[in-house]
Structure 1
Amino acid sequence: MHIILAVVFPLLGAAQWVLLEDSPKWVRYPARIAAFGYVVFYGALDALAGIGGGAMTMNNAREAAQPVFAIGNQLGHVGAWSFFAASIAIGVCALFQHKLKAIPGAAFLLTGSFLFLDSHIYWPKGVIACTCIAIGMAAISYVSPRPAR
């Protein structure tokens, strides 16, 4: 499962990158660095703990895998906080730019991003977090249409 997620989870950071396009430069650049931090550090969690630690556990080396899980979880926390920081920037900028129309999307995105800090994708909290993130990003994208080029 983590092999698939190693490809899917970075797309959340890519979505943040796109949603930051309308933001002022002084917000956009630090928030995009945070989105990049999410992609790198959360990707490291999936690679180390998900794929590496999972393979060790499946091969009866659960005790030996504990340091791998510990390092992966530390990296994952950095990634999740980076995601939350970028989400705050997206939500606040959407509220300033689109006022009342942005409230539902910002509320879902920030709620989901907060829940994501310590839930990964585990049922039920992680599934709720990812669903809120998806709804929030879609709603903000809907109220922030991109001009035709």
Structure 2
Amino acid sequence: MRTLLVAAPGLVLAGIGLTHPHHLDASTAQWWQNMHIILAVVFPLLGAAQWVLLGDSPKYVRYPARAAAFGYVVFYGALDALAGIGGGAMTLANGGRSPADEPLFRIGNQLGHVGAWCFFAASLAIAVCALLQNKVRAVPGAAFLVLGSFLFLDSHIYWPKGVLACTCIAIGLAATSYASASGRSPIEPSTRT
């Protein structure tokens, strides 16, 4: 069940990414705004998936990596609120883009960049710990997770790169969860929180 739950946010984001407009204008503003309201709920679930998988990590990795996952949720959420919801709302109100909305996109993108690097750092910690704990079983998950997180640094969820990034993240999180669960004996459940 954990494996399915950690994969779900990335898969949902990849699906929504197929509909993400490449340009914000009067014709796309309504979906842009509404889509980012939905994304405001889904994006944090990626950080929650990282938080769960970091439960298998040693404390000296778990705490800073969970701080990075929290940073992702906060800073990437700010991007979604400002450039996504706010930018869409301003474009709707103005009947198109205007110079007045540029500050929203500038600060939103800056905060989103910080959030994406936080996500990458937490993913790297998950991948390294999984490799150390589960050896060869963890290689596919670690590879997909690191690749997807790297692509996510500058792709958001736009087609095609962003959709590929989210798909790789979903596969990586699921495979890492599966490798971790299959590495435990049936009487040895994870007790870390």
CA RMSD of the aligned region, Å? 1.2
Which stretch has the larger CA shift, 134-143 or 55-64? 55-64
| Structure 1 position 148, deviation (Å) | 6.9
| Structure 1 position 58, deviation (Å) | 2.2
| C-alpha distance after superposition, 1:12-62 (max 9, x if no partner) | 000000000010100000000000000000000000110001111222253
What is the distance in 2 between the residues matched to 1:26 and 1:95?
Answer: 16
User: Secondary structure of the residue that 1:69 maps to in structure 2?
Assistant: helix
What is the distance in 2 between the residues matched to 1:76 and 1:56?
Answer: 19
Partner of 1:77: 113
Which stretch has the larger CA shift, 59-68 or 18-27? 59-68
1:49 aligned to 62, 83, 107, which one?
Answer: 83
Query: Which residue identity does 2:131 align to in structure 1?
Result: L
1:99 aligns with 2:135: yes
Give the TM-score normalised by structure 1: 0.97
Q: Which runs of 5+ in 1 are unaligned?
A: none
User: Secondary structure of the residue that 2:55 maps to in structure 1?
Assistant: coil
Which stretch has the larger CA shift, 51-60 or 104-113? 51-60
Within 5 Å, which residues of 2 pair with 1:2-21? 2-21=36-55
What is the distance in 1 between the residues matched to 2:67 and 2:138?
Answer: 23
Q: Which runs of 4+ in 1 moved over 6 A?
A: none
What is the distance in 1 between the residues matched to 2:71 and 2:125?
Answer: 14
Partner of 1:132: 168
Give the TM-score normalised by structure 2: 0.75
Partner of 1:143: 179
Partner of 1:36: 70
| C-alpha distance after superposition, 1:71-90 (max 9, x if no partner) | 00000000000000000000
Partner of 2:60: 26
What is the distance in 2 between the residues matched to 1:130 and 1:65?
Answer: 28
State the structure with bigger RCO (CA 8 A, min sep 6), 1 or 2.
2
Q: From the superposition, tell whether residues 7 and 101 of structure 1 become closer, same or farther in structure 2 (CA, over 3 Å).
A: same
Q: Which runs of 5+ in 2 are unaligned?
A: 1-34
Identity %: 81
Larger Rg computed on CA atoms: 2
